[in-house]
Amino acid sequence: MTAAADSEATPGRHGPPHIPVLLSEVLEALKPTDGATYIDATFGAGGYSSALLDAARCDVLALDRDPSAVQAGQTRVTHYTPRLSLVLAPFSDMSDVVAERGLAPVDGVVFDLGVSSMQLDQAERGFSFAQDGPLDMRMFAPAKTGGLDAEDSGRLERGPSAADVVNTFDETELANILYDFGEERRSRAIAKAVVQRRLDKPFKTTLDLASVVGRVLGQRGGDQKHPATRTFQALRIFVNDELGELRHGLVAAEQVLKPGGRLAVVSFHSLEDRIVKRFLTERAGKTPGPSRHLPMQSIQLSEPYFRIVNPRPLTPSKGELDVNPRARSARLRIAERTNTPANLAAS
């Protein structure tokens, strides 16, 4: 799902509809081969799936929790039949989907985290402060046309929208969400302004909320980011439980990868990258020392579950950034599964 919402710049500036980020680096990490099976945990517009299928005579099982993305992806499914399967499911369900389909352990898994460019550019989805739309932000969006089969429909769980959060949560809860998930230093001031304004009328649209945040923070000179960037990021992450999904998804990937299988994770902000880094570090048998000045220390794992391929994350080249400015915050971490049997009780 290329380009997180925090990659938006000033209103009215939009990048291309979909460009897979760090694509050549992901392909080099997964090394697609004939007869292998890969999982694209975040199908989006299908860029990574197509690249894998074009690189080798392999099979891809793709997941996405947005019904609109699954419906739009059916043309790719038809094009690559029978090598591409596309399932409506969050990536936290990855191991269940693999088991349901009777698949053997797979050769590689790729995650492209955050909201997709398609979602960001659809005002009606409510992710963007650059276009006016309903204040929604839920990734479990209903499909616009057609229907879903019973198995897929059962995976949907539409919780509260961003409007529900800003209109009903108390001031302290709102401030905590903005600080914890958006790293917004002025979270208390924003929460106070939101609560005061909603006494007059509830928030319904993205630009309504963005304007209130903008009045609280103002626009710093030379800052290309809209002042509402962190607020929108925080609400989106909270509404979709993105960090919880990521933790469960990484465990699921560990369970479905075969020995020597590769995991590639593209993240777009520090909260995601921290979770990925810590998970891989711990599952490689190490954990950060008590001080950032001290080396990694071993933890008590009988055997490591992963070998870290690149201790420092890969970042986009200048050439890629020239073509796709939304990729500027992307980080790619790669790990290889060891022979240690998966802990199926892990969560």
Q: How far apart are the C-alpha atoms of 19 and 23, rounded to whole Å? A: 9
- Looking from the CA of 325 toward its CB, the CA atoms found within 13 Å total 10
Tokens of 225: 């980011």
Would you place residue 301 in the very low, low, confident or very high pLDDT band (cuts 50, 70, 90)? low
pLDDT tens track for 232-278: 999 999 998 999 999 999 999 999 999 999 999 999 989 999 999 99
CB 98 within 8 Å of CB 20: no
pLDDT tens track for 79-90: 999 999 999 999
Q: How far apart are the C-alpha atoms of 210 and 212, rounded to whole Å? A: 6
User: Domain ranges in the chain?
Assistant: 5-117+241-337
Instruction: Calculate mean pLDDT across residues 266-294.
Output: 82
Task: Say which residues have a Cβ less than 8 Å from residue 171's Cβ, sequence separation at least 6.
Answer: 188, 191, 192, 195
Starting at the edge strand that comes first in sequence, how are the strands of the sheet with 37-40 ordered? 84-88, 59-64, 37-40, 106-112, 257-267, 331-337, 306-308
Average pLDDT, the chain: 83
- Encode 24-33: b = buried (16+ Cβ within 10 Å), e = exposed: ebbbebbebe
Tokens of 99: 């088991």
Which CATH architecture group holds 5-117+241-337?
Answer: 3-Layer(aba) Sandwich (3.40)
List C-alpha distances in Å: 152 to 40, 41, 78, 155, 317: 17, 16, 18, 5, 38
Q: How far apart are the C-alpha atoms of 121 and 18, rounded to whole Å? A: 10
- pTM score, whole prediction: 0.83
Amino acid found at 47:
G
Backbone angles phi, psi at 86, to 5 degrees: -125, 120
pLDDT tens track for 141-166: 443 333 344 344 444 456 789 999 99
pLDDT tens track for 35-72: 999 999 999 999 999 999 999 999 999 999 888 889 99
